[in-house]
Structure 1
Amino acid sequence: MSGLLDLLNSPIGSQIIKGVAGQAGESEQKTAGVLSMALPLLMGAMKKNTATPEGAQGLMSALTNKHDGSILDNLGSLFGGGVDDNVMNDGQGILNHVLGAKQPQVENALSQKAGVSSDTVATILKVAAPLLMGVLGKQARNENVVESNGIGNLLGGLLGSDENSNKEQSLIESFLDSDGDGSILDDVAGMVLGGSNKGGGSGIGGLLGGLFGK
C-alpha cells in the first residue's frame, strides 16, 4: 500500500496540495508542510480510536456510507471556484470527532511549527479531512476491507508498513496520549513544537520528520 509520503509526492497529491493552498490562500510549500504534519497526526488519532470495536465500526460505517473515495475522482471540480460549504462543514464534523476539544490546540501547534496563521491551518484541516477520509475509503475498496477489524491495518499501512515506520507509528500513538488517560491529543502543542530541532528530537515533529525522510 502506498504510504502518506507516496500520496503527497504523487500527481494526485500535487493536485491536492495546489487546491488546498488555493482555498487557504497560502503558498503550496507551506501548505504541503502543514499537510505533512497534520495527515499523520489525524491518521494516528483515527488509528488510536479504532482500537475499540465501537471506534472501528464507526469509521468503517463512515467509509462505507459516505466517504467511499469518490471525492478524489474530480478534484478539478472540487477546487474550481472554491471548495463547497458542504465539504467544509463535513471536514469540520470529522475534525470534531477526531480532535474534539483539542482542535484549537492542534491548530495553534501546527501554526507555530509551519509558520502560518492558525486560521489558515484551520482551513487546511477542514479541506484535508474529507480528502483523507476519501483516501481511506478508496483504499478500503481497493483492498476489499469490509469488516471493521481490518481498518486498523489499513491505517497502519498508510502510515508506513516497514519495521522502522511501525516503530515511529507506535511512538506517535504513545505521544498522542502522553499521560495514558485516553485523551489522545494531550500536550500535542508541546510535542509538535518540541520536534523543531534539526536533529529530529523526541517530539512529534521530529518523529514526523523521520517519517517523511526529512
Structure 2
Amino acid sequence: MASILDLLNTQVGEQLVNKASEKTSEDKGKVSTALGMALPLILGAMKRNTNDAEGAKSLDKALQSEKHNGDVLSNLKNREAEELSSEGSSILSHVLGSKQNGISKTLAGSLNMDENSVNKILEMAAPVVMGLLGQQKRKDNVGASGLSDLLGSVMGSSSSHDQSMLETLLDSDGDGSVIDDVAGMVLGGKNPKKGGSLLGGMFGGK
C-alpha cells in the first residue's frame, strides 16, 4: 500500500533529505526520521481542515494553482532550499496556524534536534506535499468533496487512489520505468526508514 512515507524511499525523498540536511546542518538520518514524522502530521492537519466545507474549498483552490501542479517533484534538485522554505512557511501558516510552534517543539524534543532545524524541515517538506497532492488531484480529477479521501490515501489508508498514488511517488519524472525498478523494494518493505517505525502507532492501524 502506498503512503506518504514511501516518498522517503524515492529519488525525490532522497533529494529532500539532502537539501534539508545541508540547510540545517543536521545528520541525514535525523532529517529522514523528522520527515517521517512531519509528513503525516502535515497531511493529517490538511485532512482535519477538509472536514469543514470552507476548509476543503480553500485547499482545493490552493491545489488548483499551477504552483502546485507537481513540477516540484521532478525539479526538486534545482530548487533553492530558501525558496522551498519561504513557500513552505506560507503553506504551513494556513495548514497548521498557531499549532506549528508546538509541533516543531514536540518533534525537536523527541528527536533531540534544534527547534529551528525542525521548522526548516517542515517548511521545506510542505511544497513537496502540495505538489504531490496537486499532481494527484489532476490525475484523478478530484474536487473539493473528494479531498478527504485523497488525503486519507496519501496517509496510507486503503482507497481507490492507492495504485495511482504509488505511480506518482515512484515515477515523478514521468518516464514510466521507475515503477518496475522500485515498486518491489517499496511494496516489499525492504530497508525501511526509521520514520516508519516511529509513526506505526500513530497511523499504522487507521
TM range (shorter): 0.7 to 0.9
Q: Select 1:98's aligned residue among 90, 95, 99.
A: 95
Correspondence for 1:151: 147
Correspondence for 2:115: 118
Unpaired runs of 5+ residues, structure 1, are: 164-199
- Which structure 1 residue ranges, 4+ long, deviate > 2 Å from structure 2? 204-208
Correspondence for 2:4: 4
Describe the SS at the equivalent of 2:19.
Answer: helix
Give the RMSD, CA atoms, in angstroms: 2.2
Correspondence for 2:72: 71
Shift of 1:206: 6.0
Which string of whole-angstrom CA distances, capped at 9 and with x for unpartnered residues, describes residues 42-93 of structure 1?
Answer: 1011000001111111111111113111111211211xxx4244x3222111
Correspondence for 1:48: 48
CA distance in 2, matches of 1:84, 1:37: 22
**Are the aligned partners of 2:36 and 2:199 in contact in 1 as well (CA < 8 Å)?**
no
CA distance in 1, matches of 2:157, 2:199: 20
Unpaired runs of 5+ residues, structure 2, are: 160-196
CA distance in 2, matches of 1:38, 1:91: 13
1:13 aligns with 2:13: yes
CA distance in 1, matches of 2:68, 2:120: 20
**How many matched pairs?**
167
**Residues 61 and 5 from structure 1, CA distance in 2 versus in 1: closer, same or farther, beyond 3 angstroms?**
same
The aligned runs of 1:1-214 (5 Å cut-off) are 2-65=2-65, 66-78=67-79, 82-85=80-83, 87-145=84-142, 147-162=143-158, 207-208=201-202, 211=204
Which string of whole-angstrom CA distances, capped at 9 and with x for unpartnered residues, describes residues 25-46 of structure 1?
Answer: 2111000111111111110110
Shift of 1:120: 0.4
Q: Which has the higher contact order (CA 8 A, sep 6+)?
A: 2
Shift of 1:5: 2.2
CA distance in 2, matches of 1:29, 1:148: 36
TM-score normalized with structure 1 length: 0.71
TM-score normalized with structure 2 length: 0.74
Farther off after superposition, 14-23 or 115-124? 14-23
